[in-house]
Amino acid sequence: MFFQHAGSYALPIDYTPKRPEHFYVRRIVLAKGACTTHERRSYISKIIALYPEAEIIEKPDTPHNRIAPDGKDPALRLRMGKQTLVFGEHQSAVRFSNEASNTCPNYWHFSPYGFCFYGCTYCYLSGTRTFVFSPAVKVFVNLSEILQEIDRQAYKQGGVCAFYLGKLQDGLALDPLCGTSRVLVPFFAVHPFARMTLLTKSADVANLLDLDHQGHTILSWSVNPPEIHDRFERNVPHPAQRLQAMQRCAKAGYPVRAVLMPIIPVEGWEEIYGRFLRELLLSVPLQRLTMGGICTYPDAKRLMEGSIGEDNLISQSIHSTTMRQADHRARFSKELRIKLYGALLDVVLEARPDLRVALCLEEEEVLNKVGLSVSQGLCNCPF
């Protein structure tokens, strides 16, 4: 028996969209499925009206994953893609993660939209196969079908099951524009099994604060110290803004988590990260903290080096042998990662000894060396 109201959730037609900060739209593409119903046309027209300067391109026979900027230069295509907004439908938006050769517990994730317009130079997402081929910010208008599939999979699990929003996108960056949270949070709030974990760098949480979430939506922020933000996170909300958003959501009763990642060994990193981590732990009532280093793909590494040069600190710190790991991710050496995690764990133990701490996408040997083997599978993405 499925959740009887799953099919009644639809696009937030009564929502008034607003332009998100940091998103500069030059072209809007109406891909296959975008305008097939009155509901979808009405929804899209309100968003298009916010961007009178944007070029409108109609491609009703082209699927969203076939939309790509012209040209062969990957860096130029990426820049153009971050200024391209695509509307379409996604027929396989609910998937199960299949990470191998690391300690990721794997989980269900879903995509009401895809990609990210923020400009983090270390971004792994830009190097994934999907977005190398089709780099563009995407909104999927078949939201009702996506929620019905979440409902179906949740009932197949037969118990409480987390669905993660943030693997193939920023989970909240587009929300001021799309209003998707106004549908998602109420859906998960009343579902008997399905729960949502959302990861973001956004600081705009206005849509969330008045919703009855029932504790079924966990909000998690990816954070780094201001010194890292200023150097590696272009066109991204400042960490101070993110901490304020976390505080507001915690006050509204949401379970709040943080992901300190990627930890980058800049000069003076121990003092820089220690100071920021203490501020985070003492100012936000975190439920869980997950830490991680760089774990990127070769294509993403090349895009980063095209942006900030091959001699950048991150590339210098990546251990050559990690490029041949079974999960195809590039990482810092094990020795460096153990040193980074160990120092920051000392800060956590001093400030919040009760806090659950885990590592992201790590190897079992590293978890054992830093004393976090018991935290395996208790990281950010699961409920």
Contacts 24+ apart (CB under 8 A), 306-313: 306/74, 306/75, 307/75, 307/121, 308/121, 312/121, 313/264, 313/265, 313/266
Q: Establish if 346 belongs to a structural domain.
A: yes
> For 179-263, where are the alpha helices, taking DSSP H only?
181-190, 226-232, 239-251
**pLDDT tens digits, one per residue of 21-69:** 999 999 999 999 999 999 999 999 999 999 999 999 999 999 999 998 8
Tokens standing for 92?
Answer: 């396989």
How many Å apart are CA 211 and CA 8, to the nearest integer?
18
Neighbour-count burial of 52, counting CB atoms closer than 10 A to its CB (0-12 exposed, 13-18 middle, 19+ buried)? exposed
**Which among 40, 20, 82, 381 is positioned nearest to 206, based on CA atoms?**
20
Q: Establish if 120 belongs to a structural domain.
A: no
**Which among 331, 47, 9, 348 is positioned nearest to 178, based on CA atoms?**
47
The yes-or-no verdict on residue 6 having pLDDT over 70 is no
Neighbour-count burial of 258, counting CB atoms closer than 10 A to its CB (0-12 exposed, 13-18 middle, 19+ buried)? buried
Provide the mean pLDDT of the chain: 94
Q: Establish if 31 belongs to a structural domain.
A: no
Tokens standing for 233?
Answer: 């996170």
| Averaged pLDDT for residues 165-181 | 97
Spatial neighbors of 321 by CB under 8 A, at least 6 apart, are none
Looking at residue 123, its pLDDT comes to 92
Q: Return the C-alpha torsion angle 135, 69, 122, 17, nearest 10.
A: -60
- Distance of CA 356 to CAs 169, 254, 281, 295, 379, Å? 25, 17, 12, 22, 9
Q: Establish if 124 belongs to a structural domain.
A: no
Place of tokens 């879903």: 110
How many Å apart are CA 89 and CA 238, to the nearest integer?
32
**pLDDT tens digits, one per residue of 78-98:** 999 999 999 999 999 999 998
Secondary structure class of 224 (helix, strand, coil): coil
User: Which residues are 108's β-sheet partners?
Assistant: 96, 163
Are the beta carbons of 216 and 196 closer than 8 angstroms?
A: yes
Looking at residue 38, its pLDDT comes to 96
The yes-or-no verdict on residue 323 having pLDDT over 70 is no
Confidence band of 230 (pLDDT split at 50, 70, 90): very high
Q: Which domain holds residue 366?
A: 90-112+139-375
Q: Establish if 13 belongs to a structural domain.
A: no
Looking at residue 1, its pLDDT comes to 44
The yes-or-no verdict on residue 3 having pLDDT over 60 is no
Tokens standing for 333?
Answer: 């050496």
Counted domains in the chain? 1
How many Å apart are CA 225 and CA 227, to the nearest integer?
5
The yes-or-no verdict on residue 297 having pLDDT over 90 is no
**Which among 225, 243, 232 is positioned nearest to 118, based on CA atoms?**
232
Lowest mean pLDDT among 30-34, 300-304, 354-358: 300-304
Cα 321–Cα 324–Cα 330 angle in degrees, nearest 5:
75
Are the beta carbons of 257 and 290 closer than 8 angstroms?
A: yes
Q: Establish if 253 belongs to a structural domain.
A: yes
**Which among 9, 115, 5, 120 is positioned nearest to 65, based on CA atoms?**
115
| Averaged pLDDT for residues 350-368 | 94
| Averaged pLDDT for residues 133-150 | 96
Lowest mean pLDDT among 128-132, 247-251, 326-330, 375-379: 326-330
Percentage of residues in the chain with pLDDT exceeding 90?
80
Looking at residue 7, its pLDDT comes to 60
CATH number of the domain within which 172 lies: 3.80.30.30
How many Å apart are CA 303 and CA 153, to the nearest integer?
36
Q: Establish if 249 belongs to a structural domain.
A: yes
Q: Establish if 251 belongs to a structural domain.
A: yes
Are the beta carbons of 6 and 147 closer than 8 angstroms?
A: yes
| Averaged pLDDT for residues 299-323 | 84
Query: Residue 189: how many CB atoms within 10 A of its CB?
Result: 16
Question: What phi, psi does 105 have (nearest 5°)?
Answer: -75, -10
